[in-house]
Structure formats: structure tokens, C-alpha cells
Structure 1
Amino acid sequence: MFNALTTGYLFLGGTGAGLAAVLAALELAGPRWRRPGAAAGRVARTLALPGELFARAWPACLVVLGAAVLCLVADVGRPDRLLALFASPAPTPMAVGAWALAATLAVAAAFSAAALLDGWAPPGALMRAAAALGLATGLIAAAYTGVLLSSLASVTAYQTPLLPAVFTLSSASCGLACVFAALVFVESRHAYVRALGALSGADTVVVAAEAAALAAYVAWMAQAPGARAAADALLAGEMAPLFWGGLVAVGLAAPLVLERFLTHGNARTQLLWASGCLLAGGLALRLCAVGLAAYDVTQMPELAFGLVG
């Protein structure tokens, strides 16, 4: 029902949107674009991060989002179908998602230019407005990847708001993972241990919320008549190794342990491992979600007609 391009879009689009939302939130909370002489509050001082981080992370965000768009265009096969969404007279979920993705791309491009073009000093008010826009559109684009699956009315396992919730939380966690990876290559990171601790704590909360939402989603599938076969395949069937190993153990449990025992002396190695585990878990989640469609009652006529037990 789905192919590798679909999975690539769901993963890259969610990761890029989550990274944009995280970076935009850090831009708003930090002191980078405040007026000269303006006093920074406690939150701004805690989340003060070097410009070196943003100079790496925003271009990476732009590349990831661009790759997601390419996957989507290649999957659809006709770019004019995507362009038609921007001219849609009705605010359908797909049209809203397309506009959010385009706006997030524009914000990432603006911050990438601000970081990479020497001698260009954009107004702080303009960049704060861009960050506010990026935060909103990034969250919408992250949720859209889950809404896109929910719009497939023929698949019972997708007909719940829990799926977009899981995807949104996973995208935020993958975005934080990309920030962790960028921090590894910031030579002056030891001066920002408070910010690192705050980000690690935030990701712990996000991962815990994602685990709770995922548990609720699986429980819902287990009692939904048309999705029980998908739940069985996920928990004890063909997809169980990917679910329990790739998603639960690597993507959720391992990062929680690594972030709980994060030490300053070995932070670089731990950050790399946490980042890799979070991203692997995000990919495993998309692979599991895409795979559920094959076990839906609508895709298995023998179940629909009661030919198997």
C-alpha cells in the first residue's frame, strides 16, 4: 500500500518539522535576537546557546525538509497535484499541511541565510517574528504527517487522533535529537551545560509523553474490531521485533536511560548515542505505522468475510 518514498517523507518531514519547531522555540527563548542592552530573563540565560549551533542546525533543517519534499513529489509522480493544494479554495487538512510545510521551509531558509551570510545583520524583531512563525508552522507540519495517514478512511488503525499525537511527539523528539547531534560539533559546548541539561530534561518529558500516547494508541487498536489484527502483528506478530526492539527499546527506553545519567565529562559520546537512538526510534515508528495498513481488515478480505479465525 505504501512504498519507501512514503516512509521517507513521513520520517524526514516529521524530523525536519520537529527540528524547525525546536530551533524556533530556542530562538524565541534565547537572547540571540533581543534588543541591545535588553535584560535577559532566567529562561533566556538558561537556554542561551552559541550561534555556532544555529549555524549548523538551521541549514540541516532546510536540507531535511527539502529531502522530504522531494520524496513527496517523487511519490506523487505529478508535481502539479501538489501545486494544486496551494490553490485549494477549502482549507482541507492536506492544503493546510502543504502551506505549513512551505512556510517552515521559508523560515528555515531565512535563518540559514542569517547564519551563513557574513555581514548581514537582520533586524531582531523580524527574526523573532520569523521564529514565532516557524514554531507554529513546524508544529502544524509535524502533526500533518500523522493527519495524512488519518485521512485514509479505509484503514481502521489510522482512524484516531492518537496517531497524529504520537507522530507530533516523535517529531519533536527527533528535532531535539538533531539539536543534540549539532551540539556534539560545537567546540564551546562545555560553557552551555545548563542549556544542555534543560534540553535533555525537555526531551525526557517528550519521550515519556510519546510512550504514553503510543501505549494508548496500541490499546485502542487492540479493542477496535477492524484493527485487532494490526495490533496482534505489532505486539506478537511479524512487526513485533521492529516494535519492541527498534521503537520501544532503542527509540524510547535507551534515550531515557542515557539522558537520566548524562554527565558533562562524557557528554559528547552520550549525546551521539541518544541522538542516534531517538532518530532510529522515529524511523521505526514510521515503519510500524506504514506496516499496519497491510493488516487492516479492509486489506485482508479473508478477515472481512470471516474466513479465518
Structure 2
Amino acid sequence: MMLEGKVAVVTGSGGGIGREIALAMAAAGAKVIVNDVGASLSGEGPTSATPAEQTRELIRQRGGQAEISTDSVADWASAQKIVQAALDHFGRIDIVVNNAGILRDQIFHRMTPEEWLAVIGVHLNGSFFVSRAAATHFRQQQSGAYVHITSTSGLIGNFGQANYSAAKLGIAALSKSIALDMARFNVRSNCIAPFAWSRMTSSIPAETPEQKARVAKIQQMGPEKNAPMAVFLASDAAKEVTGQIFGTRHNEIFLFSHPRPVRSIHRSEGWTPELIAEHALPALKTAFAPLDRSGDVFSWDPV
């Protein structure tokens, strides 16, 4: 019962990874606010309380405590209501899991402003809005834990996901900033880049043999495999862990590096564009990052 006595808000927990995290946190003793608007994968169309209600019922069937929130993370006032739901139902808030997300994949030169703004609004703005709403309470009680869901699409790269990749890399930077700013209040902030077959990954194309093989690998990875790390990071056992980015891939756990200088070159007389081309480029280009994507880096089968 690593989360005994704690109250957690898990956004986007009506299904997939979010649901598994909510279930695991409840099993670990937390009282959970199950937040989900019940929209389509693209965030369009009608909304429904059913997904959140289903997760709440699963938690209750297993002896846990949970209530629902169907407010959107993508609006400042609405995000305030999500955090307020924890206070209204359980009297406090200790954990925020920023998991809510949508997809509107499109190749960059065809991406519309609407596709860009919708994804940024839910993932990046939503993570900020909910985190900021909880920050006042975390500061007052001198404790709290954030777990943000990032993605290798942002940390490494992927095709046709400029909006999603930008948001997910932005979440990693947001988490680091929260960790720096809130450390004085004993508040921690970390990221998980999960691997799993869920509604979010079900849109991956599977037309060519290569694509089908990639999807087959992902289908082996259940969303429940990501929940233990979320529970750990939210618990007091992780009191010394903050500002980090972890990956969870089936039975593997990864710690990701942060961007740091990898090579430097100095010229006492300074540089001209011509000198950069003649001297700096040959010295630096052997350390250039390859133009790879997540599937190229994580190319082995999950075991």
C-alpha cells in the first residue's frame, strides 16, 4: 500500500494506460479522481461519462475508492474543476498524473492550424493547466508528486506527428521546470515515456510488411506494464527522484538522457560563415544526431 492515504488525479483514465494507472494507484491505497471527457481519439464529436464511470466501477469492485470528473484538461477553468473534484470528494490532493491526450496525425506540410492547436491544447496546455491548478495546494501542504506522460515521438522523433511530438517534448521540459521551481516545497515532477498497445497507438498504420511487423511488436505490450512506474514515482519511496524521464517497455525500464553539449570547437579569432563551413562543420558533424525515429532506436522485440 505505497500510496495509502494519498489522493490522486489521473487524467485520461477512462481507458488504456490511464485506466491501468488509476487501477494500480487505487490498489496501492490511493483515492482516485478518474478524469476523462469520453471523446474520440481525435477529441472530436460527442463526449460521454461512460469511460470514466467504467474505470470507477472497476476500482470499486476491487475494494478501492474513486470518483469521476468529466471536465476537459484543455481549458484553464475546467482544469481547476478537476483538481477541485479531489478536494470536494477526498479533502486533499497529493498526486497528479497528466495522461490525457488526443491524436491528429498529419504529415507536416499538410498539417492544419486546427490539427496543431487541438493536440497542443490537450497535451501541453492541459498538462500545464492541471499541474498549475494543483501547485497551490502542493505548496501549501509542502508535498506533492507529478507524473507526466511524454513519448519517444517527442524525445526521439516520428513521422507525421509534428503536433504530438512537439507537445510531448514540451511536457518533458515542463516537468523539468516544475521540478526546479517546486523543489523548495518538497514537490517532485517526473516523466514516463510509455510503450503499449492502446487506443492512442491503434492508429499506427499497418499496411506495409514493415508497418505490420512494428504494430505486431507493440501489440505484445499491454498498457498495464506502465502502471508500476507511475505508482512508484507517486510514492514516498521516490522522494529523491525528480526531474527525470523514464521509459517503460513491457518488462524493460529505461532512464533517458537530457540534451547536453556533446562536442565543442573554439577559435580565438572568432568565426565567419566560411570558417564554420571549413573547420567547424568537419569537427562537429561526426557527433551529429542521426535522423532516426522511435522505431529505429527501439528496434528489438519486447521480452
Bigger relative CO (Cα 8 Å, ≥ 6 apart): 1
Q: TM-score, normalised by structure 2?
A: 0.32
Q: TM-score scaled to structure 1, two decimals?
A: 0.31
The structure carrying a bigger strand percent of its residues is 2
Per residue, is there more helix in 1 or in 2? 1
